[in-house]
Structure 1
Amino acid sequence: MESKMSDTKSSSISVIPVDMNNFSSTLQLTENEPSRVKPPEDYNPFENRIVEHPNSDTGSLVHLLKCSLGTGILAMPHAFRNAGLVFGTVVTVLVGLVCTHCIHILVRSSQILCLREKVPVLTFSETAEVAFKSGPHQLKKLAEVFKQFVNLALCATCYSTSCVYIVFVATSIKQVTDHYYQAGTADDEKINIRLYILMIFPFVCALGLIRNLKYLVPVSAIANLLMGVGFTITFYYIFTDVPSPTQRDYIASPGLIPMFFCTVIFAMEGIGVVMPLENSMKNPGHFLGCPGVLNAGMFVVVTLYAIIGFFGYLKYGESTNASVTLNLPSEHVMAQVVKILIAAAILLTYGLQYFIATDITWPMLEKRVDKRWSSTLQNVYRILTVAITVCVAIAVPNLGPIISLVGAVCYSTLGLLCPVVIDLVTNWEGGLGTWYWVLWKDSFILLFWLAALLTGTYTSVLDIITMYS
């Protein structure tokens, strides 16, 4: 495909080196500076990338697994409760295939656009912008709009996930403290979960004030260690004394299915970290393909999610909670340790989610601020946005509906809608295949996104209203 952007534009782009230890979610492309690498006629973007500390294929696979195997896996048994054993297993695999394909078309579109525009690297939002600029003429004026839409979706996803983390931590702490200090007390006389959320505010505020990603590295390392230990003990409980599958529903009530879809999308979508990961690889061409880093990683992710969802629901049945750790027996010391370990891990992970979103939003505001007050106002901004996530958590302190709502609105938009639109615009002129099969395929995914958005949002909001009415 021929470039629709001028050669002058291409030659005026300089690239900031990529470093996974200190990457920015909004990798900058600056104009009116000399290019560090002059694109040759047979331009290869992979050969022109300047990566200070490139990741091997194995390292990239580990990063992908670490980013994908988070708190979502703990919500899978609850998702299966809303789907049934058989339906849940089959559809989890199908949703996993759709999510993997959307990541694939996003990365592939980015690689095509890098080659077309002769730039070494593009981020998620820049891929969206360049796709529209080099796409059909009628869409060129929407380039900046869609770029900001992707940034907005990414910010909304990260901030809303932060709200989920706060509710999860507060719920876990409340369950442990209720056992020790308020055993036998009526539920309406126990300390309200909203007070626990307020107690967490100083800790998340401190994490939110961290401005440099490198200072979050040891925090993330500790979180990973705590999470690993907590997961191991949780899985021991899940796979001990498992009842017969005949005691569980194979297919759940149709009214619960939307909640299942949204929870699975919430659990599986790690698309926000994919572009920085692919951009930092030593051999970016190995990310896609067969087997490829993406396919190998998502195979492990989907398999584990299906297994944990199946056996978690099989073990706890209709009493399965929004996080399976909340089903662990409170009278067992080991179970209490697990709840505290995973709560601490999720609390420490808050900083990374918050960093990604703030790294996008603050630079937009900083341009309008006097440099003398920039540092002070940034601290004020960070405290205010952290306070907003805490207020949202206080407003809806229930994990089940909030996970489904975040999955329906944020994760489905970022992980399904945005990649498909980018794919269509990138391939619109001559790349839609025989009988326009790419158009038909992407249209199906758009319908799936719309169904998840509408039904998931309606069901989740209805659940919240019913719960607090």
Structure 2
Amino acid sequence: MTGQTSALQALMHLLKSYIGSGILAMPKAFSYSGIIIGCIGTPVIGLLCHTCIHMLIDINEYLCQKLSLQPMDYEELAEKVFENGPDRLQKFSKAFRIVVTSFLFVAQMGFCTTYYVFIASNIKQFSESVSTNGWSCVSIEYYLLIVLPFLVLISFIKNIKHLSIASMFGNVLQLVSFVIIIYNLVSQMDNISDTVLVSDKVPQFFSTTMFTYEGITVTMGLYRSMKNRRNFDKPCGVINNAIAIVIVFYVTVGLLGYLKYGDQVAGSITLSLPKKPIYESVQLMYSIAIFISYPIQLYVAINILWPLIYTKLHERKVSSCIIDVCNYGFRTCLVLLTYALAALIPKLDLILSLIGAISCSTVAIMIPPILHTMIFYELKKETLSRLWLCIRNAFIFLFGLLGFCIGTYFSLKDIIESIDISDVDNC
């Protein structure tokens, strides 16, 4: 679908996708970096991601004009770039599309896994706060199991339009919860926790912040659906306004949350709130809102793989009834996969960091400059223009690659240490 979304609607969709559950992890990110690196690094990473989004839009506009096509999604765009790039690389177009599709799928499944752990963690803490029947002894794995059938059922909704009313309700819950969280962060600021200016966990900061900024899949979809696409990437357009607002919110929440709760802040700020009814209600409201958002995130992952499966089934002339059964089975398998990942790593901060390092840095920072260079290098006639293009894009790529390697190493290291500690505690 194209030509349906106004600039204001696109801005609201972008803000909702960025300022969702990810912003709740910013205080934890600041605890990894310290105040100075957090306040500087958050805008820098945001601007780099923002630059890469502009790269993809520029590529989309150029190829659409050259090939007389409609705006393309990310994986199709990657394939077209290789098909129209240097002769030696054209044969890799299908392979690179598979690479991009794989990373997008991993990222979406990571988001769904994060949502799963978020729901279970907040329900667990809410139950422990309001119950007097020994719920504090129940591990998070049981909460993951309790939530599982509900997530399977809600994933069976094939048309996400049927979730529109529920999604609006979830948006209201998120907004109310967010206001309460901000109230908590700005109240009694004289009780500032122990904080540091510069911390020694910068790789984890990069990975966590990358997770919160990764919105390329949403951005490209919105660009395709715009009534007037010029309003999307002009100087005071949708994407520039959105990233400016997001950076301000991320730095504000990250800094205030870190100042309030220090190094002890949880992976989600909701888990660090005081045990009072108003804050306990935030945990419940956010859990409901994220539960409603789970099938929407899963819908993106389904759309990445299901068309391929459907094509194979259709070629074999499988009946529509069997195809429907396979569709529901496929959806169930995806939910079970997120359950398995969540049960394996039931700590929100560790999942955020790992997904941010592996998938988000690749999709949001490393791939766009590769595609941009392949398309626009030959179009730059002046030597200085070519040199600037190569230097800028190489810097962005290497920044993403460094974050990918170091972030993945330290994220896996933290996960292994966490599992070892859990084994010792169980003994």
Same fold, TM-score > 0.5, yes or no: yes
| Alignment partner, residue 354 of structure 1 | 298
The alpha-carbon deviation at position 452 of structure 1 amounts to 1.1
CA distance in structure 2 between the aligned counterparts of 1:299 and 1:217, rounded to whole angstroms: 28
Deviation per residue, 1:53-101 (Å, 9 max, x gap): x222222211111111111100000000111112110111111110110
The alpha-carbon deviation at position 431 of structure 1 amounts to 3.1
Q: TM-score, normalised by structure 1?
A: 0.85
| Alignment partner, residue 450 of structure 1 | 401
| Alignment partner, residue 32 of structure 1 | none
Q: 1:184 to 1:211 in 2, by over 3 A?
A: closer
CA distance in structure 1 between the aligned counterparts of 2:28 and 2:140, rounded to whole angstroms: 21
| Alignment partner, residue 464 of structure 1 | 415
Structure with the higher helix share, 1 or 2: 2
| Alignment partner, residue 169 of structure 1 | 119
The alpha-carbon deviation at position 435 of structure 1 amounts to 4.9
CA distance in structure 2 between the aligned counterparts of 1:418 and 1:198, rounded to whole angstroms: 37
The alpha-carbon deviation at position 218 of structure 1 amounts to 2.3
| Alignment partner, residue 239 of structure 1 | 186
CA distance in structure 1 between the aligned counterparts of 2:377 and 2:363, rounded to whole angstroms: 21
Q: 1:299 aligns with which of 224, 241, 244?
A: 244
Deviation per residue, 1:289-316 (Å, 9 max, x gap): 2112111110000111001101110011
**Equivalent pair of 2:366/2:398 in contact (CA under 8 Å):** no
CA distance in structure 2 between the aligned counterparts of 1:280 and 1:181, rounded to whole angstroms: 47
**Equivalent pair of 2:24/2:270 in contact (CA under 8 Å):** yes
The alpha-carbon deviation at position 183 of structure 1 amounts to 7.9
Q: 2:248 aligns to what SS in structure 1? A: helix
Q: TM-score, normalised by structure 2?
A: 0.93
| Alignment partner, residue 263 of structure 1 | 208
The alpha-carbon deviation at position 179 of structure 1 amounts to 2.4
| Alignment partner, residue 220 of structure 2 | 275
CA distance in structure 2 between the aligned counterparts of 1:65 and 1:180, rounded to whole angstroms: 33
CA distance in structure 2 between the aligned counterparts of 1:377 and 1:114, rounded to whole angstroms: 35
Deviation per residue, 1:268-326 (Å, 9 max, x gap): 12111111111111110121121121111100001110011011100111111110111
**Equivalent pair of 1:242/1:315 in contact (CA under 8 Å):** yes
- Structure with the bigger RCO (C-alpha within 8 Å, sep 6+) is 2
**Equivalent pair of 2:194/2:263 in contact (CA under 8 Å):** no
**Equivalent pair of 1:79/1:259 in contact (CA under 8 Å):** yes
The yes-or-no answer on 1:221 pairing with 2:172 is: no
Q: 1:364 aligns with which of 289, 308, 315?
A: 308
Q: 1:179 aligns with which of 129, 139, 143?
A: 129
CA distance in structure 1 between the aligned counterparts of 2:25 and 2:370, rounded to whole angstroms: 29
Deviation per residue, 1:250-277 (Å, 9 max, x gap): 1112xx1100011111111211111111
CA distance in structure 2 between the aligned counterparts of 1:431 and 1:302, rounded to whole angstroms: 32
CA distance in structure 2 between the aligned counterparts of 1:183 and 1:210, rounded to whole angstroms: 35
**Equivalent pair of 2:193/2:259 in contact (CA under 8 Å):** no
**Equivalent pair of 1:160/1:406 in contact (CA under 8 Å):** yes
The alpha-carbon deviation at position 459 of structure 1 amounts to 0.9
The yes-or-no answer on 1:148 pairing with 2:131 is: no
The alpha-carbon deviation at position 387 of structure 1 amounts to 0.7
The yes-or-no answer on 1:379 pairing with 2:328 is: yes
Q: What is the total number of aligned residue pairs between the two structures?
A: 413
Q: 1:141 to 1:319 in 2, by over 3 A?
A: same
CA distance in structure 1 between the aligned counterparts of 2:22 and 2:394, rounded to whole angstroms: 27
CA distance in structure 2 between the aligned counterparts of 1:206 and 1:156, rounded to whole angstroms: 22
| Alignment partner, residue 11 of structure 1 | none
| Alignment partner, residue 388 of structure 2 | 437
The alpha-carbon deviation at position 371 of structure 1 amounts to 2.9
Q: 1:324 aligns with which of 262, 269, 272?
A: 269
**Equivalent pair of 2:79/2:94 in contact (CA under 8 Å):** yes
| Alignment partner, residue 404 of structure 1 | 353
Q: Superposition RMSD on alpha carbons, in Å? A: 1.7
CA distance in structure 2 between the aligned counterparts of 1:226 and 1:193, rounded to whole angstroms: 24
Q: 2:400 aligns to what SS in structure 1? A: helix
Matched AA of 1:97: L
Q: 1:456 to 1:139 in 2, by over 3 A?
A: same
CA distance in structure 1 between the aligned counterparts of 2:403 and 2:222, rounded to whole angstroms: 27
The alpha-carbon deviation at position 333 of structure 1 amounts to 0.4
The yes-or-no answer on 1:131 pairing with 2:81 is: yes
Structure 1: where are the runs of 5+ without partners?
1-16, 19-50
CA distance in structure 2 between the aligned counterparts of 1:461 and 1:402, rounded to whole angstroms: 10
Matched AA of 1:121: P
**Equivalent pair of 1:136/1:428 in contact (CA under 8 Å):** no
CA distance in structure 1 between the aligned counterparts of 2:380 and 2:223, rounded to whole angstroms: 23
Question: Aligned runs of 1:61-140 on 2, under 5 Å?
Answer: 61-140=11-90
Deviation per residue, 1:226-267 (Å, 9 max, x gap): 1111111111101111137794211112xx110001111111
| Alignment partner, residue 394 of structure 1 | 343
Matched AA of 1:450: L
The alpha-carbon deviation at position 182 of structure 1 amounts to 5.3
**Equivalent pair of 1:243/1:314 in contact (CA under 8 Å):** no
CA distance in structure 2 between the aligned counterparts of 1:357 and 1:233, rounded to whole angstroms: 32
